[in-house]
Amino acid sequence: MLVRLSISDFAIIRHLEIDFHPGLNILSGETGAGKSIIINAVNLLLGGRATAELIREGAEEARVEGLFQIPESSTLPRVLEDMDVPFGGELLIKRTISRSGKNRVTINGSIATVAMLASIGPRLLAVSGQHASQALLKPENHLLLLDEFGGLEGERESFSQDVRRFKALAEEIARLRGEISLAKERQELARFQAEEIDSARVRLGEDQELEQEKRRLKSAEELFKIAQSSFAVLYDQEDAVLSRISKCLRDLERGAGIDPQLSPAVDTLKRAAAEVEDASYTLREYLDDIGQDPERLEQIEDRLFLLNQLKRKYGPTLEDVIAYRERICGRAEEIERSKILLGEKEKNFEQLRERIASKGNRLSQKRKGIAKRLERAMERELSRLHMRGTVFKIHFQSVPGPERGGQRLNVSPEFIREEGFDQVEFMISPNIGEPLRPLAKIASGGELSRVVLALKSVLASKASVETVVFDEVDSGISGATAEIVGEKLLNLSNRHQILCITHLPQIASKGKAHFLVKKQVEAGRTITTISELNRRQRVMEIARLLGGKEITQRAISRAEEMLSPD
């Protein structure tokens, strides 16, 4: 319940505070006094759109505060707990808008967001005005109202969750199928590439070894000359190094027999002779092996050409070529894993499809039964609102897809809607003998106002919202009909706090509390004020509503008769 509303520097409101009461609260005043401005301010507390244009001229910011009492039965405390908002039975919402375009929102002193307001707002207060009437004309809203009346919100949300999973799974399956198809195309290429690499019998380091052998073969003549000359110097010619070392060694050995101090030199020279002899033997073997071999050189160049081709394709090194071969051979395993995953998802998809079909058919059957109850309830309420003989029907139309016996046989992601298999539209015939027409075809604003009120009354026992605001529910009605509408609002206020803006005395007289909204000029500025009326003031205001600008004694007497005793 909205206990207190405080508005500062909003439109033509400088500052006002209103303490509302349980039951039916009436707001009246001259046209243009600012009654709808108050409703616009309330909408800000519900997460409505705010612009700098709403700020009063000369002020830097506008502020709206609302204090709500929350009953123990409400689900709102759990929502606030999830939002980490402190709660102790009351809810204080404060919203400030500045000319810079920034919004500041607090809930029970905690910093909040407009999105948080939009989430909790519908649980606090519902505004039924011109926008509500326009929303009622849209068929896309009718199914939600039907589900609200039947208490099917939980089943519809469960169905919606399954549909969202169903569509997401369909996208995953399509993606997997595409990946597998593309992988199969690549697999053919991979098979060719693997065979090309395998047939080459690539060995790590082979290219380096072949390059070395190639350089040796291409320089064989020069290498032969170098080795031959070196062998001759060391061993083969008359004054070869080894011969001279041997002669020197014999002389030193004879000298060491005389002086042992020459013995280390003898030992060193013996080692040198052995090293020179080993080098000579190595050179002789090298000379035996080396030779020009054009055929081998051609083989090496062909092999290097093949290896370099593989490196250009899959390299840049032979190690990379071998790693590439291992990688593409692993793609077959990846395809098999993807196929297994696809099979699991397709199985889940079909199970989910069957569950959605079952849930959707069950939900459709419930809706059709509930629709009959809503039709009867609406016709009763409209009859009480002086629309006797009105026929109210709910037209069902299934979304595209095969059916048999009213049951959905197949569920396709492209057709299924989160709301279910049904599309409904409220149809009405206000006058006996006239055909049923969509609500949007109703010509009379008074009839539409009463349909809105009737629907609010029917949904009242189902709705969890504590406060309902009616803005100009009296549009297009008068006389006895207005009296009936007033009674209906009074009955509705037994279950909800009602804030009603009206111009009709028949409705204003039913209120438990009456507030007068006035526009006046102070210090050269127009401002809106609001005040709660006592009984005498209420009599005068209702008399004004009865008689217009000139309040007669007769209007005063009639106003006193209309007012219920305090």
3-state secondary structure of 33: coil
pLDDT at 463 > cutoff 70? no
Task: Determine the angle formed by the axes of helices 479-492 and 445-460, rounding to 10 degrees.
Answer: 20
Lowest mean pLDDT among 222-231, 252-261, 501-510: 222-231
pLDDT of residue 410: 61
- 565, two tokens: 């005793």
Give the model confidence (pLDDT) of 526-557 as tens digits. Answer: 889 999 999 999 999 999 998 777 888 888 99
Q: Which domains does the chain have, with CATH numbers?
A: 1-129+446-532 (3.40.50.300), 184-332 (no CATH), 534-566 (no CATH)
Q: Residue type at 197?
A: I
pLDDT at 443 > cutoff 60? no
pLDDT of residue 402: 47
The mean of the pLDDT values for the chain is 85
pLDDT of residue 125: 82
- 115, two tokens: 């999105």
Cα separations in angstroms, 264 against 1, 185, 252, 272: 117, 79, 10, 12
What lies within 8 Å, CB to CB, of 249 at 6+ separation is 266, 269, 270, 273
- 352, two tokens: 């989910």
Instruction: With beta carbons less than 8 A apart as the criterion, state whether 515 and 533 touch.
Output: yes
Map 78-93 to HEC letters.
Answer: HHHHHCCCCCCCEEEE
Say whether the peptide bond before residue 260 is cis (omega within 30 degrees of 0): no
pLDDT of residue 513: 94
Give the model confidence (pLDDT) of 320-343 as tens digits. Answer: 888 888 777 766 677 778 888 899
Flag whether the pTM goes above 0.75. no
- 106, two tokens: 């607090």
Instruction: With beta carbons less than 8 A apart as the criterion, state whether 211 and 345 touch.
Output: no
Instruction: With beta carbons less than 8 A apart as the criterion, state whether 268 and 254 touch.
Output: no
Instruction: With beta carbons less than 8 A apart as the criterion, state whether 58 and 4 touch.
Output: no
Task: Compute how many other C-beta atoms are within 10 angstroms of the C-beta atom of residue 463.
Answer: 16
**What share of the chain has pLDDT > 70, as a percent?**
91
Select, from the ranges 9-23, 109-123, 224-238, 300-314, the one with the highest average predicted confidence (pLDDT): 9-23
- 41, two tokens: 């301010």
Give the model confidence (pLDDT) of 117-131 as tens digits. Answer: 888 887 788 777 655
Q: Residue type at 535?
A: R
Give the model confidence (pLDDT) of 28-79 as tens digits. Answer: 988 888 888 888 888 888 888 888 888 998 899 999 999 999 887 777 888 8
Euclidean distance between CA atoms 66 and 2, whole angstroms: 7
Give the model confidence (pLDDT) of 240-281 as tens digits. Answer: 888 888 889 898 889 888 888 989 998 999 999 899 889 989
pLDDT of residue 391: 93
Give the model confidence (pLDDT) of 155-190 as tens digits. Answer: 998 999 999 999 999 999 999 988 888 777 777 677
CA angle 34, 37, 41 (to 5 degrees): 145
